[in-house]
Amino acid sequence: MAFAQGSRSSLSFIVESTFGTTPAGNFQNLPFSTHSLNLTKDRVAGTDIQSDRMPRVDRHGNRQAAGDIVADLRDADYDAFLESAMLSTFSTNVLKVGTAPKFFSIEDYAADIDQARLFTGMTVSTMGISLAPNQMVTATYGMVGKDMTISATEKTQDAASGAAPFDAYSGTLAIGDVDGTPSTAAIVTGMDFTLTNSFAPTFVIGSDSAPQLEVGRAEVEGTISAYFEDATL
């Protein structure tokens, strides 16, 4: 029996209107470099002491989905994930930190063995962006979600946009003071930053998956490396 090959897999998604519930409609194909989406389950063990030293109770506990999606950043295809990371929506190509979470159902389909894993209630908990000369602009989306199920039926997908990924030469970098006017900086050799939302499942009695996720503050930190030209930067 053949094993699933990573080169034959695909990712697709649909935006949920109700947390953890996959809506009707076509999924959107998602170009990606690699991912580590997976289901994790805790264990619940009994504590009775037996004369033969053998435990009698060992059960599955809380369930949650998590993992990273790594991709070359490009126009359009990841707009919904950028909005999820910022808890906001684009307004004339401007995206600011907000308070409205966006959740997805994400399918990981293995075409060679015709098996699909459907992750529900997924959102972007962390987002890391990396820019450097002579490479593509890469984005890592740290996902947190509710649950996962397995199916032998692939969701119908709409094709990705086909947009080319951004590289280090695709635009200009401008830096300025807060509320100031940014000016072009042509001496930067690398920039990496991470946005952290700290999403976490809220487990309750009566269900092994969370009915909702809680979110923390939006925290951004990173590094910039540059040539020392003058005191401007």
Average of per-residue pLDDT across 56-69? 95
Q: Does a structural domain hold residue 219?
A: yes
CATH code (residue 21): 2.30.110
Q: Does a structural domain hold residue 210?
A: yes
Is 70:165 a contact under the CB 8 Å cutoff? no
Q: How confident is the model at residue 203 (pLDDT cuts 50, 70, 90)?
A: very high
Residue 132: CB atoms within 10 Å: 16
pTM over 0.75: yes
Q: Does a structural domain hold residue 52?
A: no
Q: Does a structural domain hold residue 47?
A: no
Q: Does a structural domain hold residue 3?
A: no
Number of structural domains (the chain) is: 1
Structural domain for 110, as ranges: 8-40+62-155+164-226
Q: Does a structural domain hold residue 55?
A: no
pLDDT digits (tens, 9 = 90+) for 128-178: 999 999 999 999 999 999 999 999 889 999 999 999 999 988 778 888 877
